[in-house]
Amino acid sequence: MGRAKVTARLGDQDTMNDPKTALGVADIQKIMACIPHRYPFLLVDRVVEINGDESGIGIKNVTINEPQFTGHFPGQPVFPGVLMIEAMAQTAGVLVVNARGSVDAGVTSVLFTTIDKAKFRKPVVPGDQLRFHLTKITRKRNLWFYRGEARVDGALVAEADLSAMVV
């Protein structure tokens, strides 16, 4: 009886078909439709577990053939922390535009506006997969505030609070 009651409740709410509550995925084509960045500055390969503009996880596969590794650092490549922060901002941009796109066709771009409490915990090297966990803190008019955590194999490697503005 308990299972039937839960099924009926979920069916009544129809949450999985509601675009604001369904967990979604954005592949590279969808990402490029949401934000203007292109190679070599497009730093997110996929966004998964999208929950409207509330949260999502951006994925970056770090490879040795990326241009930053020719100078950062020769013989001991380390993915730059500032690019991890930028990738968090790009992930937030995808979440905002993806969630607002169907509601507001006037969204043309999302701009990175602030970085606070940035910390870098461990080096990231070629072969790692970065996962950028973004969670909305709040929204004020056309500004979104997010908490970002970059993780490799579940370990925290960087974190920051950031904001983005829709224009």
40 preceded by a cis bond (ω within 30 of 0): yes
Amino acid in position 8:
A
Q: What are phi and psi of 140, to 5 degrees?
A: -130, 110
Active site (annotated) includes residue 133: no
Which of 30, 37, 46, 72 does the annotation list as catalytic? Answer: 72
Per the listing, tokens 């390969």 go with 45
Decide: residue 80, CB within 10 A, 0-12 exposed, 13-18 middle, 19+ buried: middle
Query: What residues are annotated to the active site?
Result: 72
